[in-house]
Amino acid sequence: MNVTVIIAVFNSEDTIIHCLDSLAEQSINREDFEVICVDDGSTDSTSKLLKEYNHILNYKVVRHENNGPAFSRNKGAQLAEGKIILFTDADCILDGNWIIEMIEPFKNESITGVQGSYRTKQKKLIALFDQIDMESRYKKLKKNDYIDSIATYSAAYRRDTFLKYGGFNTNYKQASGEDFELSFLLSKEGHKLIFSENAICYHKHPDSIIKYLKTKFSRGYWRTLLYKNFKNKIYNDTYTSLLLKLQYLSITLFFISTVLVLFNFISKTVPIVCVTLFILLQIPFFIFALKKNIKVAFLSFPIVTFRSIFFLSGMLLGVTHVIMGKLK
Protein backbone atom coordinates (compact mmCIF):
# COMPACT_ATOMS: atom_id res chain seq x y z
CA MET A 1 0.00 0.00 0.00
CA ASN A 2 1.52 3.31 -1.09
CA VAL A 3 -1.08 5.86 0.00
CA THR A 4 -3.57 6.24 2.85
CA VAL A 5 -6.35 8.83 2.80
CA ILE A 6 -7.55 9.77 6.29
CA ILE A 7 -10.87 11.47 7.00
CA ALA A 8 -11.86 12.63 10.48
CA VAL A 9 -15.66 12.38 10.58
CA PHE A 10 -18.15 13.84 13.04
CA ASN A 11 -21.90 14.13 12.40
CA SER A 12 -21.37 14.27 8.64
CA GLU A 13 -24.39 12.33 7.42
CA ASP A 14 -25.16 14.92 4.72
CA THR A 15 -21.69 15.00 3.15
CA ILE A 16 -19.55 11.95 3.87
CA ILE A 17 -20.97 9.69 1.13
CA HIS A 18 -20.27 12.33 -1.52
CA CYS A 19 -16.72 12.57 -0.23
CA LEU A 20 -16.23 8.79 -0.30
CA ASP A 21 -17.75 8.50 -3.77
CA SER A 22 -15.22 11.02 -5.06
CA LEU A 23 -12.43 8.88 -3.61
CA ALA A 24 -13.92 5.75 -5.19
CA GLU A 25 -13.65 7.48 -8.58
CA GLN A 26 -9.99 8.49 -8.34
CA SER A 27 -7.82 7.98 -11.42
CA ILE A 28 -5.13 6.16 -9.44
CA ASN A 29 -5.21 2.35 -9.38
CA ARG A 30 -7.71 1.44 -6.65
CA GLU A 31 -5.31 -1.17 -5.27
CA ASP A 32 -2.68 1.49 -4.56
CA PHE A 33 -4.52 3.41 -1.87
CA GLU A 34 -6.66 2.87 1.20
CA VAL A 35 -9.18 5.08 2.95
CA ILE A 36 -9.50 5.26 6.73
CA CYS A 37 -12.54 7.04 8.18
CA VAL A 38 -12.16 7.88 11.85
CA ASP A 39 -15.59 8.47 13.38
CA ASP A 40 -15.14 10.93 16.23
CA GLY A 41 -18.19 9.78 18.19
CA SER A 42 -20.90 10.87 15.74
CA THR A 43 -24.42 11.02 17.16
CA ASP A 44 -26.34 11.11 13.86
CA SER A 45 -26.50 8.41 11.17
CA THR A 46 -22.86 8.88 10.13
CA SER A 47 -21.67 5.68 11.83
CA LYS A 48 -24.28 3.60 10.03
CA LEU A 49 -23.44 5.15 6.66
CA LEU A 50 -19.73 4.52 7.15
CA LYS A 51 -20.24 0.87 8.05
CA GLU A 52 -22.48 0.24 5.05
CA TYR A 53 -20.24 1.91 2.48
CA ASN A 54 -18.58 -0.62 0.16
CA HIS A 55 -17.42 1.17 -3.01
CA ILE A 56 -13.75 1.51 -2.06
CA LEU A 57 -11.52 -1.56 -2.28
CA ASN A 58 -9.29 -0.86 0.73
CA TYR A 59 -11.51 0.79 3.30
CA LYS A 60 -11.49 0.93 7.10
CA VAL A 61 -13.74 2.54 9.68
CA VAL A 62 -12.58 3.31 13.21
CA ARG A 63 -14.81 4.78 15.90
CA HIS A 64 -13.98 6.29 19.28
CA GLU A 65 -15.48 8.72 21.75
CA ASN A 66 -15.43 12.38 20.77
CA ASN A 67 -11.89 13.71 21.17
CA GLY A 68 -11.65 16.26 18.36
CA PRO A 69 -10.33 16.11 14.80
CA ALA A 70 -6.64 16.30 15.73
CA PHE A 71 -6.92 13.13 17.83
CA SER A 72 -8.91 11.40 15.07
CA ARG A 73 -6.40 12.24 12.36
CA ASN A 74 -3.52 11.05 14.52
CA LYS A 75 -5.37 7.78 15.10
CA GLY A 76 -5.80 7.35 11.36
CA ALA A 77 -2.09 7.99 10.79
CA GLN A 78 -1.16 5.37 13.37
CA LEU A 79 -3.31 2.77 11.60
CA ALA A 80 -2.26 3.75 8.08
CA GLU A 81 -0.38 1.30 5.88
CA GLY A 82 0.64 3.90 3.30
CA LYS A 83 4.02 5.59 3.31
CA ILE A 84 2.26 8.77 2.24
CA ILE A 85 -0.76 9.89 4.26
CA LEU A 86 -3.35 12.29 2.84
CA PHE A 87 -5.91 14.23 4.84
CA THR A 88 -9.20 15.70 3.70
CA ASP A 89 -12.49 16.70 5.33
CA ALA A 90 -15.82 14.91 5.34
CA ASP A 91 -17.49 17.78 3.48
CA CYS A 92 -14.96 17.83 0.63
CA ILE A 93 -15.41 16.35 -2.84
CA LEU A 94 -12.11 15.42 -4.44
CA ASP A 95 -11.22 15.98 -8.07
CA GLY A 96 -10.58 12.73 -9.95
CA ASN A 97 -6.83 13.36 -10.07
CA TRP A 98 -6.56 14.59 -6.49
CA ILE A 99 -4.55 11.67 -5.10
CA ILE A 100 -2.18 11.60 -8.07
CA GLU A 101 -1.57 15.36 -7.86
CA MET A 102 -1.03 15.16 -4.09
CA ILE A 103 1.54 12.37 -4.22
CA GLU A 104 3.41 13.47 -7.36
CA PRO A 105 5.71 15.90 -5.48
CA PHE A 106 6.90 13.08 -3.20
CA LYS A 107 8.89 11.65 -6.10
CA ASN A 108 11.36 14.27 -4.92
CA GLU A 109 12.80 12.65 -1.79
CA SER A 110 13.42 16.05 -0.21
CA ILE A 111 9.70 16.90 -0.02
CA THR A 112 7.97 16.19 3.31
CA GLY A 113 4.53 17.77 2.91
CA VAL A 114 2.08 19.00 0.28
CA GLN A 115 -0.84 21.45 0.38
CA GLY A 116 -3.66 21.10 -2.15
CA SER A 117 -6.20 23.75 -3.17
CA TYR A 118 -9.87 24.60 -2.65
CA ARG A 119 -12.54 25.20 -5.23
CA THR A 120 -16.27 25.73 -4.77
CA LYS A 121 -19.40 25.40 -6.87
CA GLN A 122 -21.43 27.60 -4.54
CA LYS A 123 -23.14 30.74 -5.81
CA LYS A 124 -24.02 32.68 -2.64
CA LEU A 125 -21.97 35.83 -2.19
CA ILE A 126 -20.57 34.99 1.25
CA ALA A 127 -19.30 31.64 -0.01
CA LEU A 128 -17.86 33.29 -3.12
CA PHE A 129 -16.13 35.89 -0.96
CA ASP A 130 -14.56 33.12 1.11
CA GLN A 131 -13.38 31.34 -2.04
CA ILE A 132 -11.91 34.50 -3.58
CA ASP A 133 -10.21 35.28 -0.29
CA MET A 134 -8.72 31.77 -0.38
CA GLU A 135 -7.52 32.30 -3.95
CA SER A 136 -5.79 35.52 -2.93
CA ARG A 137 -3.89 33.48 -0.34
CA TYR A 138 -2.98 30.89 -2.97
CA LYS A 139 -1.48 33.73 -4.98
CA LYS A 140 0.84 34.37 -2.04
CA LEU A 141 1.64 30.66 -1.62
CA LYS A 142 2.64 30.34 -5.27
CA LYS A 143 5.29 33.01 -4.86
CA ASN A 144 7.21 30.74 -2.49
CA ASP A 145 9.34 27.76 -3.49
CA TYR A 146 8.50 26.26 -0.12
CA ILE A 147 5.66 27.03 2.28
CA ASP A 148 5.17 26.79 6.04
CA SER A 149 1.37 26.42 6.16
CA ILE A 150 -0.57 23.25 5.34
CA ALA A 151 -4.30 22.88 6.08
CA THR A 152 -5.93 19.47 6.47
CA TYR A 153 -8.74 19.92 3.94
CA SER A 154 -6.12 18.85 1.39
CA ALA A 155 -2.85 17.83 3.03
CA ALA A 156 -0.21 15.16 2.55
CA TYR A 157 2.79 14.06 4.60
CA ARG A 158 5.35 11.32 4.70
CA ARG A 159 3.93 9.06 7.39
CA ASP A 160 7.23 8.40 9.15
CA THR A 161 7.94 12.12 9.52
CA PHE A 162 4.37 12.84 10.63
CA LEU A 163 4.62 10.24 13.41
CA LYS A 164 8.15 11.26 14.37
CA TYR A 165 6.91 14.74 15.23
CA GLY A 166 3.86 13.45 17.09
CA GLY A 167 1.23 14.40 14.53
CA PHE A 168 -1.29 17.12 15.33
CA ASN A 169 -1.46 18.85 18.70
CA THR A 170 -4.56 17.41 20.39
CA ASN A 171 -4.92 20.47 22.63
CA TYR A 172 -6.82 21.92 19.67
CA LYS A 173 -10.30 20.56 20.25
CA GLN A 174 -11.63 22.04 17.01
CA ALA A 175 -10.20 21.99 13.50
CA SER A 176 -8.56 25.40 13.68
CA GLY A 177 -4.80 25.65 14.03
CA GLU A 178 -3.46 22.18 14.75
CA ASP A 179 -2.61 21.70 11.08
CA PHE A 180 -0.68 24.97 10.83
CA GLU A 181 1.16 24.24 14.08
CA LEU A 182 2.51 20.99 12.65
CA SER A 183 3.55 22.57 9.35
CA PHE A 184 5.14 25.51 11.19
CA LEU A 185 7.15 23.01 13.23
CA LEU A 186 8.24 20.97 10.22
CA SER A 187 9.24 24.10 8.31
CA LYS A 188 11.21 25.33 11.31
CA GLU A 189 13.02 21.98 11.44
CA GLY A 190 14.07 22.36 7.81
CA HIS A 191 11.52 20.12 6.10
CA LYS A 192 10.39 21.17 2.64
CA LEU A 193 6.65 21.73 2.16
CA ILE A 194 5.12 22.76 -1.16
CA PHE A 195 1.85 23.97 -2.66
CA SER A 196 0.23 21.80 -5.37
CA GLU A 197 -2.43 23.99 -6.99
CA ASN A 198 -3.72 21.21 -9.26
CA ALA A 199 -4.58 18.94 -6.33
CA ILE A 200 -8.16 20.17 -6.20
CA CYS A 201 -10.91 19.54 -3.69
CA TYR A 202 -14.36 21.12 -3.79
CA HIS A 203 -15.59 22.45 -0.50
CA LYS A 204 -18.66 24.15 0.91
CA HIS A 205 -17.75 27.46 2.50
CA PRO A 206 -20.03 29.14 5.08
CA ASP A 207 -22.85 30.60 2.98
CA SER A 208 -24.34 33.05 5.47
CA ILE A 209 -22.73 35.99 7.22
CA ILE A 210 -23.58 34.52 10.64
CA LYS A 211 -21.89 31.18 9.88
CA TYR A 212 -18.91 32.96 8.38
CA LEU A 213 -18.38 35.27 11.34
CA LYS A 214 -18.80 32.42 13.85
CA THR A 215 -16.07 30.56 11.97
CA LYS A 216 -13.78 33.59 12.09
CA PHE A 217 -14.39 34.05 15.82
CA SER A 218 -13.38 30.43 16.38
CA ARG A 219 -10.32 30.84 14.16
CA GLY A 220 -9.28 33.89 16.16
CA TYR A 221 -9.69 32.02 19.44
CA TRP A 222 -7.56 29.05 18.40
CA ARG A 223 -5.05 31.24 16.58
CA THR A 224 -4.10 32.50 20.04
CA LEU A 225 -2.79 29.05 20.95
CA LEU A 226 -0.98 28.81 17.63
CA TYR A 227 0.77 32.15 18.12
CA LYS A 228 1.52 31.30 21.74
CA ASN A 229 3.50 28.30 20.51
CA PHE A 230 4.98 30.04 17.43
CA LYS A 231 5.36 33.71 18.31
CA ASN A 232 7.44 34.51 15.22
CA LYS A 233 4.45 33.61 13.01
CA ILE A 234 2.52 36.57 14.40
CA TYR A 235 4.50 38.68 11.94
CA ASN A 236 5.04 36.46 8.94
CA ASP A 237 3.97 33.18 7.35
CA THR A 238 3.47 32.04 3.76
CA TYR A 239 -0.34 31.84 4.03
CA THR A 240 -1.38 35.10 5.68
CA SER A 241 -0.56 38.32 3.87
CA LEU A 242 1.13 41.22 5.61
CA LEU A 243 -1.78 43.43 4.47
CA LEU A 244 -4.24 41.27 6.41
CA LYS A 245 -2.16 41.45 9.57
CA LEU A 246 -1.88 45.21 9.16
CA GLN A 247 -5.67 45.36 8.82
CA TYR A 248 -6.01 43.64 12.18
CA LEU A 249 -3.46 46.01 13.68
CA SER A 250 -5.06 49.17 12.28
CA ILE A 251 -8.58 48.32 13.43
CA THR A 252 -7.24 47.35 16.86
CA LEU A 253 -5.52 50.73 17.10
CA PHE A 254 -8.76 52.38 15.96
CA PHE A 255 -10.73 50.92 18.88
CA ILE A 256 -7.97 51.66 21.39
CA SER A 257 -7.53 55.24 20.15
CA THR A 258 -11.30 55.82 20.17
CA VAL A 259 -11.40 54.95 23.88
CA LEU A 260 -8.42 57.20 24.55
CA VAL A 261 -10.13 60.06 22.71
CA LEU A 262 -13.14 59.72 25.01
CA PHE A 263 -10.83 60.46 27.95
CA ASN A 264 -9.06 63.26 26.06
CA PHE A 265 -5.71 61.43 26.13
CA ILE A 266 -5.04 61.79 22.39
CA SER A 267 -6.17 63.80 19.38
CA LYS A 268 -9.42 62.94 17.60
CA THR A 269 -7.46 62.61 14.37
CA VAL A 270 -5.74 59.40 15.53
CA PRO A 271 -8.76 57.07 15.20
CA ILE A 272 -9.60 58.77 11.88
CA VAL A 273 -6.12 57.97 10.61
CA CYS A 274 -6.43 54.38 11.85
CA VAL A 275 -9.76 53.72 10.16
CA THR A 276 -8.55 55.40 6.96
CA LEU A 277 -5.51 53.12 6.95
CA PHE A 278 -7.78 50.12 7.56
CA ILE A 279 -9.85 51.00 4.49
CA LEU A 280 -6.81 51.67 2.31
CA LEU A 281 -5.33 48.29 3.25
CA GLN A 282 -8.42 46.61 1.79
CA ILE A 283 -7.94 48.10 -1.69
CA PRO A 284 -5.52 45.41 -3.01
CA PHE A 285 -8.04 42.66 -2.20
CA PHE A 286 -10.85 44.78 -3.68
CA ILE A 287 -8.92 44.99 -6.96
CA PHE A 288 -8.20 41.25 -6.89
CA ALA A 289 -11.88 40.45 -6.18
CA LEU A 290 -13.05 42.89 -8.86
CA LYS A 291 -11.49 40.64 -11.50
CA LYS A 292 -13.45 37.68 -10.13
CA ASN A 293 -16.86 39.03 -9.13
CA ILE A 294 -17.97 42.69 -9.01
CA LYS A 295 -20.62 42.12 -6.32
CA VAL A 296 -18.15 40.32 -4.07
CA ALA A 297 -15.60 43.09 -4.58
CA PHE A 298 -17.93 45.82 -3.32
CA LEU A 299 -19.29 43.59 -0.57
CA SER A 300 -15.75 42.90 0.61
CA PHE A 301 -15.44 46.18 2.55
CA PRO A 302 -18.18 45.48 5.12
CA ILE A 303 -17.34 41.75 5.25
CA VAL A 304 -13.66 42.41 5.94
CA THR A 305 -14.62 44.92 8.63
CA PHE A 306 -16.88 42.50 10.48
CA ARG A 307 -14.42 39.64 9.90
CA SER A 308 -11.67 41.64 11.56
CA ILE A 309 -13.87 42.49 14.55
CA PHE A 310 -14.97 38.89 15.10
CA PHE A 311 -11.51 37.42 14.54
CA LEU A 312 -9.96 39.86 17.01
CA SER A 313 -12.79 39.22 19.50
CA GLY A 314 -11.98 35.52 19.30
CA MET A 315 -8.31 36.28 19.87
CA LEU A 316 -9.17 38.47 22.87
CA LEU A 317 -11.11 35.60 24.43
CA GLY A 318 -8.24 33.26 23.60
CA VAL A 319 -5.68 35.55 25.25
CA THR A 320 -7.92 35.76 28.32
CA HIS A 321 -8.12 31.96 28.50
CA VAL A 322 -4.35 31.63 28.06
CA ILE A 323 -3.80 34.02 30.98
CA MET A 324 -6.35 32.10 33.07
CA GLY A 325 -4.73 28.79 32.16
CA LYS A 326 -7.79 27.47 30.33
CA LEU A 327 -6.02 27.32 26.97
CA LYS A 328 -2.68 25.51 26.91
Compute the mean pLDDT over every residue in the chain, rounded to the nearest whole number. 95
Phi/psi of residue 85, nearest 5 degrees? -110, 135
- Per residue in 225-277, pLDDT (tens digit) is 999 999 999 988 999 989 999 999 999 999 999 999 988 888 899 999 999 99
Burial of 187 (0-12, 13-18, 19+ CB in 10 A): buried
> How many percent of the chain have pLDDT more than 90?
90
The alpha carbons of the chain give a radius of gyration, in whole angstroms, of 21
DSSP assignment of 305-316: HHHHHHHHHHHH
Computed from CA positions of residues 274, 248, 224, 111, in that sequence, does the dihedral angle turn out positive or negative?
A: negative
CB contact at 8 A, 113 and 151:
no
CA distance 244 to 233: 13
- What's the average model confidence in pLDDT over 176-197? 95
Which pLDDT band holds residue 1 (cuts at 50, 70, 90)?
Answer: low
pTM for the full predicted model: 0.92
Phi/psi of residue 135, nearest 5 degrees? -65, -30
- What's the average model confidence in pLDDT over 114-138? 96
Task: Fill in the DSSP letter of residue 327.
Answer: -
pLDDT of residue 135: 95
